[in-house]
Structure 1
Amino acid sequence: MTTERRLRLPGIAYGGDYNPEQWPEEVWAEDMALMREAGVTMVSVGIFSWALLEPSEGVYDFSRMDKILDLLHENGIAADLATPTACPPAWFFRAHPEALPVDRDGRTLSYGSRQTFCPSSPAYRTAALRIAGALAERYADHPAVAMWHVHNEYGCHNAACYCDTSAAAFRTWLKAKYGNDLDALNHAWGTTFWSQWYYDWDEIIPPRATGADPNPTHQLDWRRFCSDELLSLFTAERDVLRHAAPDIPATTNFMVMHNFDAMDYWRWAPELDIVSNDHYLLSTDPESEIDIALCGDLVRSLADGPWLLMEHSTGAINWQPVNRAKGPGEMRRNALAHVAHGADGIAYFQWRAAKAGAEQWHSAMLPHAGTDSRIWQDVVQLGADLRALAEVRGSTSPARIAIVWDWNARWAMELPCQPSGELRFQDLVRDWYAPLWRAGVAVDFIRPDTPDLDRYQLVLAPSLYLVDDAGAANLAAFVERGGTLAVGFHSGAVDENCHIRLGGYPGAFREILGVHGDELFPLLPGQSVGLTGQVPQDATADLWTERIRLTGAEAVATYTDGPLAGVPAITRHTYGSGTAWYLATHPDPTTLAAALKRICQEAGVCPEREVPAGVEVVRRRGADADYLFLIDHAGHGAEIPADGVELLTGKPVTGSVTVPEGGVAVVREPRAELRERVTA
């Protein structure tokens, strides 16, 4: 019988990183009082405290942590107790300089910040497991400890180390993958090209800086190894904690946001008892609310249910060229959007803004100005909001559309020497996601080989450059059984070894799409072509085109100019009992939105509810009720059809609910089938 490890806190957890060691002890009592005022229910502690907990090797000082945990428990605040292994102390590196990371150019990096260690270092692993074990032994039964927080943001600064120790670990990983068969590796890597054939395992090194571009499959396997190597560190610490406290769940904070792509989180997620994520806004993103939604849906899909937001910012961050402060109501909208997309906990970095250190200009729940600040008022208001939404906890998503997301495909497509260096996986996925978000259509994310696709009416693959045979067959079988699939350009091009699928484009998907391509025509930056057919007037496309001919599909749109004038650009094909669409180009936003609207309609997928532009609508599905989140990002306010109870105010809703300007409404509605039953 397996132990069920879950977070045993009522309602939606609320809090942030708490670093009392940065402050005199007399400040701690004030922290407790203010946390209670704000409605904080859980804080992460000890994340960066290794140097204080273990002042010298094997010598521990838990006096400060004892007081902190006791104080939290006395004030009814749970602790997400961290292993402090993201920041080894200076004494460790003086004793083990070989544990310092080496970059691609061969430079050894110094300690003096965070995550400056080699993930393959035996000395680091030993020290990390030792401090994790000491913490587990001391605090496994402490009543404040509700969850273990393993490490912090794995791979944020040291996703890859190119030292000789890492090279040896890479070879061990390769031997396991290829069954200790060097010929199998040579075949998979295509090493007959450029005289790269290996005759001895010791000849294989990481893809360090070299005179020309390294082998693509070498680079891809290196990305896979780096993700797995860090994952092995997480599971090793997690197992130490589980041994001491079998009932306490363990998490680590993912970084599913904009351009962080170091980890294959499909492999990581099953190893976590609770999936959690950090999310920060890009100051240059004019529609950062879409990034919140996309990443929230992806994390919910990784978790296969609710998840925790472990870090976010109340205002400006500190690590971008210009760090934008949040506007009125934005912090609240951001937080409740995360809840709408599946978060059962909202936390921030950090509780009290630091007065010293690298992140002293990072916003916090308690800012430098103290309680006489707008941020503090917003923090207190958000605590009240989350208490009002307690019953939402545990509810899920009713999505009938799935988007294929694969880190291997992302890594492979963004390697050098592609037909176009302008392709960015997350940008391409977001281009397809955005019109669905604007239309209020719920979305899950899936792997290419995800089973049980029949729960979806429509599957979208905006960018699936790499796909293995099993993934391609899984998507084809979904269409054959009656599903609808839409595929974006340059998909299906290579197999899992980054070998081009011969015979024409789009490779693995030629048959189900009913098209055959013989040449790729990527467009130059700023270049575009016109589109005609069943598309909006003045439709255009940029970034990519390819010459295809129909082998069963019908042309929905063709190019009007350029070298491919008259060639199909968007196609539709009946395959088995289903339908497969191909977008062989990158349409302008209006045209893409129109195409996806038609695809959704033909697949029988309808928007959640008609809402004005700029109003986000999301539904979470509970056992006995649905929760309709309405978030006004445009700042105009709205009147939306709804019936039930508005949870943030407690007021009944009959016919419609008012969403304040720049505000949020959350309506508990009877489940649709229950409403139909009552009406009947």
Structure 2
Amino acid sequence: MYFGADYYPEHWPRAEWESNALLMKEASINVVRIAEFAWAKMEPKEGVFDFSWLDEVIEVLSKQGIKVILGTPTATPPKWLSDKIEDIYMVNEFNQVRGFGSRRHYCYNNSKYKEYTAKIVTALAKHYKNNTNVVAWQIDNEFGCHDTVRCYCNNCLKDFQGWLENKYKSIERLNEEWGTVFWSQTYSSFEEIILPKYTVCDSAVSASGLNGRKRYSHNPGLLLDFYRFSSDSVVKYQKLQIDIIKNCDCNQPINNNLMGHFNQIDYFKLGEDLDFVSWDNYPNNEWGQNSMFSVSMAHDLMRGVKGKKFWMMEQQSGPCGWNSLGDTPKPGQIRLWTYQAIAHGAEGIVFFRWRACPFGTEQYWYGILDHDGIPRRRYKEIKQIGSEVERLSDLFVDSKVLSEAAIIKSYDNLWSHQFQPHNEKFDYNSLLIQYYTALGTNNINSDIVPYNIDFSEYKLLIMPAFNLMKDDILQRVENYVSGGGNLVLTFRSGTKEWNNSMTIKTLPGYFKELAGVTVEEFDSINFGREVQMFTEYGMGKVLMWADILKPISAEIIGTYASDFYEGEAAITVNSYGKGKVYYIGCDLEQEVLNKLLEEIALKSGIKPLIPNNIEGVEVVSKEKNGRKYIIVMNHNGYEVEIHLSGTYKELISNIDIDGKLMLNPYEVAILETNVG
């Protein structure tokens, strides 16, 4: 198993490279990622390539048994190149040029920049294709970071028009799909089509909404297609580099480091051309703290992108931020976060960064070592982790997370909800996290999957707020349920067609027969109002949305207890073929949802991994070659007692556990389940 750090030798004197490599080896580090921001050092002048320093550091590392992941440096085009290409920079929706001074300062659709991208990647690939110390490639770095997916320059306008012509074939069909007859927005040709820039009815600044403002006026079909096009532009730019590397006869696998819940790129599409995906995880930073289930869901999403193992390419190893710092990781937290990643499918762990940099924008971003390079507590903790991972590597590599439930994520639906959220308090990704949390709280694993896979391996499938809908998705879901699967639908499902126009079908649209209900009307709950609802699992508050349901064939299992729809159906269950469909017509408080999903899971044949639910404790089930084990993680800053059924072998300490497990703050246990 690869265990390593992100290393920037260009930031440090040559005389320190050997001592760095020795310290890495002592911590069981066997891989580093390098060079992803070093274009100016690789090509200091146009056409003058210098890889000698890179050759030297790779050789220094190899003497200590350390391999490298080599990054293409296209996230940071150098100043000479930025000056040469006049229109290289992105343009925002206010027609402001986003110029030099940071990183990611380029437009994906700039043909000149693509030419220079091809030159540097070709030179790099040809130079290192036979180097056995290079074990993988990374394309660019964090595509989309700093709101760099959607560009409004003339290059993007031209490419967007071509993208639309390729999709719709005729301008008449586009006008029909978008409904441009509304407000006389009909286009006569593809050359007339605009980008959704700032216009009348838009607010220039907003505390919430999209990219710091709210869009009120643009055609929803135009907006959705522009978001799809922008995401596809990133996918296309990535493929340009992948094809070059492969055409240079490089046999090393290729990855890209994603950003978890980042929402501007369709990660399922981005992952198609990659050999594996990695991602960058900072649970506690300048901008906030992530809940344990938010992090776990991001891990499971990364695993779901390709349905297989992933890497952590940047795992937090110190306090971090750009202008101020988040909390310092407490003793044991770095180890906990590492095992959390491994539990959910990570087969490579790379910590960011080896040593804090004394200059530049990220000088507050601490790593394994502080600025002075002296090993301290965090280094010792990572050294401990490295020793354990080295010993347990065979258990983790090629293991499988055992999930009987899955949650469907759709980027098309995410984008549609972003610019028309139905209610100002609604957030699609937050709803997914809420349902994921409900399963996790009940010690139930779940996968995060796209809508176009075979669902048959799951006993329970959840489609929160799946609003955009089309026939082929319906067919797939119908086959799943009629074959014995259990499906959960929620409010704001099926109200739109795939082109982002409202459906004229009776709500919930395509889901009507499956759910066995109609939505008679609904209530968007605003301005501090609350509605009471009742299920056999207790009373709860509805704070955002209420679908008022009329059962056709469904059974009522939850009702509203206040407002003008008191006594009307809020939650239903319908038998369909051999399976069941649950329709949850309102938002629920987390505690109520936890209890509801616990019951739904049990009725779907899913049992919790351990019998008792303890706040702050996470459990993941894994299997390799018939050998099953569970990883139990205490995210609390205090000791917890966990009651177990049966006898287990704890694999880190190699001791037997009978009936009761005590976990210290941020402690981890790996329990083999086939003992006794």
Report the TM range for the smaller structure's normalisation. Answer: over 0.9
* Partner AA of 1:625 in structure 2: R
Equivalent residue for 1:437?
A: 440
Conserved in 1, the CA contact under 8 Å of 2:130 and 2:250? no
Equivalent residue for 2:161?
A: 171
Moved over 4 A (4+): 282-287, 319-322, 652-658
Equivalent residue for 2:596?
A: 595
- Normalising by structure 2, we get a TM-score of 0.94
Shifted more, 19-28 versus 558-567: the winner is 558-567
Conserved in 2, the CA contact under 8 Å of 1:612 and 1:638? no
Question: How far is the alpha carbon of 1:667 from its aligned partner?
Answer: 2.5
* Partner AA of 2:588 in structure 1: P
Verify: 1:402 aligned to 2:406, yes or no: yes
Question: How far is the alpha carbon of 1:245 from its aligned partner?
Answer: 3.2
Please give the residue correspondences for 1:21-60 in structure 2 after superposition, counting only pairs within 5 Å. 21-60=10-49
CA distance in 1, matches of 2:527, 2:669: 42
Question: How far is the alpha carbon of 1:491 from its aligned partner?
Answer: 0.9
CA distance in 2, matches of 1:639, 1:559: 37
Among 526, 529, 532, the alignment partner of 1:527 is 529
* Partner AA of 2:348 in structure 1: G
Conserved in 2, the CA contact under 8 Å of 1:643 and 1:656? no
Equivalent residue for 2:628?
A: 626
Verify: 1:424 aligned to 2:427, yes or no: yes
Verify: 1:211 aligned to 2:207, yes or no: no
Shifted more, 272-281 versus 123-132: the winner is 272-281
* Partner AA of 1:552 in structure 2: S
Equivalent residue for 2:208?
A: none
Conserved in 1, the CA contact under 8 Å of 2:443 and 2:613? no
SS in structure 2 opposite 1:565?
Answer: coil
- Cα-to-partner distance string for 1:160-189 (whole Å, 9 max, x where unaligned): 1100011111111112212x3111211121
Equivalent residue for 2:610?
A: 609
Question: How far is the alpha carbon of 1:449 from its aligned partner?
Answer: 2.8
Q: 1:587 to 1:285 in 2, by over 3 A?
A: farther
CA distance in 2, matches of 1:526, 1:312: 40
Among 235, 238, 243, the alignment partner of 2:239 is 235
Question: How far is the alpha carbon of 1:503 from its aligned partner?
Answer: 3.1
Question: How far is the alpha carbon of 1:280 from its aligned partner?
Answer: 2.0
Shifted more, 370-379 versus 488-497: the winner is 370-379
Shifted more, 130-139 versus 653-662: the winner is 653-662
* Partner AA of 1:596 in structure 2: L
Among 647, 651, 660, the alignment partner of 1:647 is 651
Equivalent residue for 1:102?
A: 91
Conserved in 1, the CA contact under 8 Å of 2:69 and 2:135? yes
Equivalent residue for 1:307?
A: 310
Please give the residue correspondences for 1:281-320 in structure 2 after superposition, counting only pairs within 5 Å. 281=283, 288-319=291-322
Shifted more, 161-170 versus 419-428: the winner is 419-428
Question: How far is the alpha carbon of 1:205 from its aligned partner?
Answer: 2.1
Q: 1:67 to 1:533 in 2, by over 3 A?
A: closer
Equivalent residue for 1:4?
A: none
Equivalent residue for 1:577?
A: 578
Conserved in 1, the CA contact under 8 Å of 2:322 and 2:361? no
Conserved in 2, the CA contact under 8 Å of 1:42 and 1:78? yes
Q: 1:397 to 1:86 in 2, by over 3 A?
A: same
What RMSD in Å do the two structures reach over aligned CA positions?
A: 1.8
Conserved in 2, the CA contact under 8 Å of 1:367 and 1:375? no
Among 98, 102, 114, the alignment partner of 1:113 is 102
Equivalent residue for 1:566?
A: 567
Equivalent residue for 2:180?
A: 191
Equivalent residue for 2:275?
A: 273
Question: How far is the alpha carbon of 1:322 from its aligned partner?
Answer: 5.6
CA distance in 2, matches of 1:197, 1:282: 48
CA distance in 1, matches of 2:324, 2:40: 30
Equivalent residue for 1:7?
A: none
Conserved in 2, the CA contact under 8 Å of 1:611 and 1:617? no
Conserved in 1, the CA contact under 8 Å of 2:639 and 2:662? no
Please give the residue correspondences for 1:353-392 in structure 2 after superposition, counting only pairs within 5 Å. 353-368=356-371, 370-391=373-394, 392=396
Among 39, 51, 61, the alignment partner of 1:72 is 61
SS in structure 2 opposite 1:143?
Answer: coil
Question: How far is the alpha carbon of 1:320 from its aligned partner?
Answer: 7.9
CA distance in 1, matches of 2:104, 2:608: 44
CA distance in 2, matches of 1:402, 1:495: 24
Unpaired runs of 5+ residues, structure 1, are: 1-10
Conserved in 1, the CA contact under 8 Å of 2:609 and 2:619? yes
Conserved in 2, the CA contact under 8 Å of 1:629 and 1:665? yes
CA distance in 2, matches of 1:654, 1:566: 49
Q: 1:26 to 1:329 in 2, by over 3 A?
A: same
CA distance in 1, matches of 2:222, 2:60: 51
Verify: 1:470 aligned to 2:472, yes or no: yes
Conserved in 2, the CA contact under 8 Å of 1:82 and 1:151? yes
Among 249, 262, 265, the alignment partner of 1:263 is 265
SS in structure 1 opposite 2:468?
Answer: coil
Equivalent residue for 1:3?
A: none
CA distance in 2, matches of 1:225, 1:402: 28
Question: How far is the alpha carbon of 1:539 from its aligned partner?
Answer: 2.1
Shifted more, 316-325 versus 420-429: the winner is 316-325
Shifted more, 518-527 versus 61-70: the winner is 518-527
CA distance in 1, matches of 2:323, 2:669: 32
Conserved in 2, the CA contact under 8 Å of 1:403 and 1:445? yes
SS in structure 1 opposite 2:495?
Answer: coil
- Cα-to-partner distance string for 1:470-501 (whole Å, 9 max, x where unaligned): 11221122112221111111011112101212
Question: How far is the alpha carbon of 1:281 from its aligned partner?
Answer: 2.1
Question: How far is the alpha carbon of 1:318 from its aligned partner?
Answer: 0.8
Q: 1:525 to 1:309 in 2, by over 3 A?
A: farther
Question: How far is the alpha carbon of 1:655 from its aligned partner?
Answer: 5.6
Verify: 1:145 aligned to 2:100, yes or no: no
* Partner AA of 1:162 in structure 2: Y
Work out the number of aligned pairs and report it. Answer: 655
CA distance in 1, matches of 2:428, 2:462: 14
CA distance in 2, matches of 1:638, 1:654: 13
- Cα-to-partner distance string for 1:588-629 (whole Å, 9 max, x where unaligned): 112111111111111111111124512211111111312310
CA distance in 1, matches of 2:368, 2:671: 27
Q: 1:525 to 1:308 in 2, by over 3 A?
A: farther
SS in structure 1 opposite 2:298?
Answer: helix
Q: 1:44 to 1:322 in 2, by over 3 A?
A: closer
* Partner AA of 1:311 in structure 2: E
CA distance in 1, matches of 2:633, 2:488: 29
SS in structure 2 opposite 1:586?
Answer: coil
Question: How far is the alpha carbon of 1:557 from its aligned partner?
Answer: 1.2
SS in structure 2 opposite 1:600?
Answer: helix
* Partner AA of 1:297 in structure 2: D
Equivalent residue for 2:205?
A: none
Equivalent residue for 2:211?
A: none
- Cα-to-partner distance string for 1:337-379 (whole Å, 9 max, x where unaligned): 0110000011122111111010110121222354353222222
CA distance in 1, matches of 2:612, 2:376: 33
CA distance in 2, matches of 1:322, 1:363: 9
- Cα-to-partner distance string for 1:214-259 (whole Å, 9 max, x where unaligned): 11111111111111111111111111111223421001111113xx
- Cα-to-partner distance string for 1:534-589 (whole Å, 9 max, x where unaligned): 231x3222211122211111211111111321221111111122111111001111
SS in structure 1 opposite 2:497?
Answer: coil
SS in structure 2 opposite 1:44?
Answer: strand
Q: 1:191 to 1:361 in 2, by over 3 A?
A: same
CA distance in 2, matches of 1:654, 1:548: 49
Q: 1:190 to 1:454 in 2, by over 3 A?
A: same
SS in structure 2 opposite 1:99?
Answer: coil
Q: 1:270 to 1:57 in 2, by over 3 A?
A: same
Conserved in 2, the CA contact under 8 Å of 1:558 and 1:568? yes
Question: How far is the alpha carbon of 1:89 from its aligned partner?
Answer: 0.2
Equivalent residue for 1:221?
A: 225
